[in-house]
Amino acid sequence: MALNWPANYFQASFHHQATGSLKEAVCTFAFAYTGPNIYTAGGAISNAWNTAVMSSVGDVWKYIRFVLRTNEGAIQEIVKTDFGRTAHTPMPANIAFLIRKNSGQPGRRGRGRMFLPGVSEQDADQNGVVVGSKITELNANLATFYTAVTDADCDPCILHNTNIVPPPSNTAPTPFASFTVEPIIGLQTRRLK
């Protein structure tokens, strides 16, 4: 996938690993940076993820690494050893909270999402519906995280694929104004070979 990735735009990725697993679950988002020191901003974003978001993640999941990238590759990597802080029976590792990036724009171009690992059995019912109290908790923590990101002079956005047919007329990054959790859990599937 080729992304339209202008100068002064960055991607933050948060790497997680379940206890006993060799595979990682990665959450990402892009942002335009307008501040004086991108490395200080990267550290602030990494710490905000741990403080706000990891408090809603199951304790069998560890936040293991933060990576900051430009269109040319990684420019900052911070090793982390922080576990989630929800101590309940975990669901299988391929079940995740589906987090929406809200741009307020209609259509495919205005949508963005990420899969947040660490769903516990008490977080959703047998039909995959996230319980209301967990939605409230996660949305509050995601709002705290979003505020920390913007306070670090970062403007979150969605980057767009340029290798689609027919080619889009506008591939400029789409700003988004918040993160929210979907009321249904997401299932990450991998293609079997």
pTM for the structure as a whole:
0.91
Answer whether residue 165 shows pLDDT above 90: no
> Residue 193 — pLDDT band, cuts 50, 70, 90?
very low
Amino acid letter for position 146: Y
CB 3 within 8 A of CB 28: no
pLDDT score of 37 more than 60? yes
Report the pLDDT averaged over residues 84-92.
93
Q: Which two tokens stand for residue 119?
A: 């769903």
Q: Report the alpha-carbon distance of residue 111 to residue 109 in Å, rounded.
A: 6
Pull the structure tokens for residue 50: 């741990």
Q: Calculate the dihedral angle through the C-alpha atoms of 137, 66, 51, 115, rounding to the nearest 10 degrees.
A: 10
Residue 186 forms part of a structural domain: no
What type of residue is 133? S
> Quick check: 188 pLDDT over 80?
no
- Can you tell me the mean pLDDT for 161-179? 80
Provide the strand spans (E) within the chain: 9-18, 24-33, 61-70, 73-83, 95-102, 111-116, 154-158, 174-175, 178-181, 186-187
Determine which of 59-63, 64-68, 164-168 has the lowest per-residue pLDDT on average. Answer: 164-168
Average model confidence (pLDDT) across the chain: 91
Assigned domain for 109 exists: no
Q: Does the residue 97 lie in any domain?
A: no
**Domain residue limits at 58:** 9-87+131-178
Q: What is the dihedral of CA 157, 163, 167, 172, to 10 degrees?
A: 20
H helix and E strand count, the chain: 2, 10
| Predicted pLDDT of residue 190 | 60
Residue 184 inside a domain? The answer is: no
Q: Would 173 be classed as within a structural domain?
A: yes
Asked if the model's pLDDT at residue 168 lies above 70, the reply is: no
Residue 149 lies in a domain: yes
With cut-offs at 50, 70 and 90, classify the pLDDT of residue 42: very high
**Residue 2 maps to a domain:** no
The answer to which of 15-29, 41-55, 104-118 has the lowest mean pLDDT is 104-118
Confidence (pLDDT) at 5: 83
Does the CA dihedral 149-188-123-103 come out positive or negative?
positive
Residues contacting 108, CB < 8 A, separation 6+: none
Of residues 163 and 133, more confidence is placed in: 133
Are 112 and 158 in contact, with CB atoms under 8 Å apart? yes
Q: What percent of the chain has pLDDT over 90?
A: 77
**Average pLDDT estimate for 33-60:** 96
Residues making up the chain, counted from first to last = 193
Q: C-alpha angle 113/122/55, rounded to 5°?
A: 60
State the total domains in the chain.
Answer: 1
Q: Is residue 189 part of a domain?
A: no
Determine the pLDDT at residue 128: 93
